[in-house]
Amino acid sequence: MLNFVDRDPRIFDSQTLASLRQSTAFFGSTALISIGGLLAIMGTPDRLLEFTHAVTQSQEATALKLQFKLAFAALFLVHAFLKFVWSSRLFGYCAVLMAAVPNDPDHPQAIPRAIMAGEINIRAALSFNRGLRAMYFALASLAWLAGAPVMLAAFVITLYMLWNREFSSQASALLKTGIMETDTSFIPAPFAQPTDQKTKSGKNEVDPSG
């Protein structure tokens, strides 16, 4: 966010923040629609009950048990919706703080306000990530319709997927450590330069010896 102070114009920063707010609005709407769908199914569980009996090959499931399982998934979706709403609001706060940053980089309030905007942006991103995780587990909890062992397996798979994507993937490694200048393995072959080739400055060098 400190680079934002010296950037002129700041159109790219506003577009980036607008894109983040659109993402929170999209997932918030998705969570709300999903909650409505689950409530509708809970009101008329007959067809889903027949499907559950066919999958589990058992008649133990009742409408009350089915509604309880759907309510369990709905709780995750409600949590996700609230996180997305709060994230969108924080991104709005961040936009206001960014607008309050003076255009003059040497202004005494420029750096402090930029830091405040960055901290609010971080909190918004954390809420957004927690909302996404809640949606993942809401999908996994629907496996309870097929039985407790299936739900347990779905939760384990979801945990592994989240851990792999957020903490041990190549994308997370690049975000944490950055790309080393000496590492050219990620550069496509037509653009890669030999390691023994010297970097050119782009200026014509004149040999002093003539």
pLDDT, tens digit (0-9, with 9 covering 90-100), for 25-57: 999 999 999 999 888 888 777 777 776 666 665
Average of pLDDT values for 58-84?
A: 85
Is it true that the peptide bond before 9 is cis, omega within 30 degrees of 0? Answer: yes
Mean pLDDT highest for which of 97-106, 108-117, 138-147, 148-157? 148-157
- pLDDT band (50, 70, 90) for residue 137: very high
Which amino acid makes up residue 61? Answer: A
pLDDT the model gives residue 187:
47
pLDDT at 197 over 50: no
